[in-house]
Amino acid sequence: MNKMQQLNELRKLRSQAKEMQKELEKITETVEEDNIKVKVRGDQKIEYIEIDGEERKDIADAINKAMKNVQKEAAKKMMQEGGGLSGLLGGLK
C-alpha cells in the first residue's frame, strides 16, 4: 500500500470512528434506585445524576473527569505494553 492509499485509509477510519462516537452518544440508559436517578450515555459519559429530586452536576462532572483521565492512562499503558492493536493481533496484517 502506498502512502496516498494509507492516508486515504486513515481518513476513512477516522470518519468511521467519529460516526460511531455519534451513534454511541445517542444510546442512553436511566436507572432509578432509592431516590437516586442516573442517566448514562453509550459513550460512558454520565449525562446527569439526581439525588432526592436535586440534579447534582458537580458529581456527574467529577465522575466524567475521572473516567476521562483513567481512559487516557489505560490507552498509554496499552501503547507501552503491546504497541496498540498490533500487539493484540500477534503482528497479523
Query: 3-state DSSP call for residue 53?
Result: coil
Cα(52)–Cα(59) distance, integer angstroms: 14
pLDDT band (50, 70, 90) for residue 91 = very low
The mean predicted confidence, pLDDT, of the chain is 88
Range from 8-12, 46-50, 86-90 that averages highest in pLDDT? 46-50
What digits encode the pLDDT tens for the residues 47-84? 999 999 999 999 999 999 999 999 999 989 888 887 65
Q: Which residues pair with 40 in a beta bridge?
A: 29, 46
Cα(64)–Cα(67) distance, integer angstroms: 5
Q: In the chain, where are the structural domains located?
A: 3-76
pLDDT of the residue at 93: 45
Task: Quickly count: other Cβ atoms within 10 Å of residue 16's Cβ.
Answer: 10
Closest listed residue to residue 67, CA positions, set 37, 36, 41, 35: 41
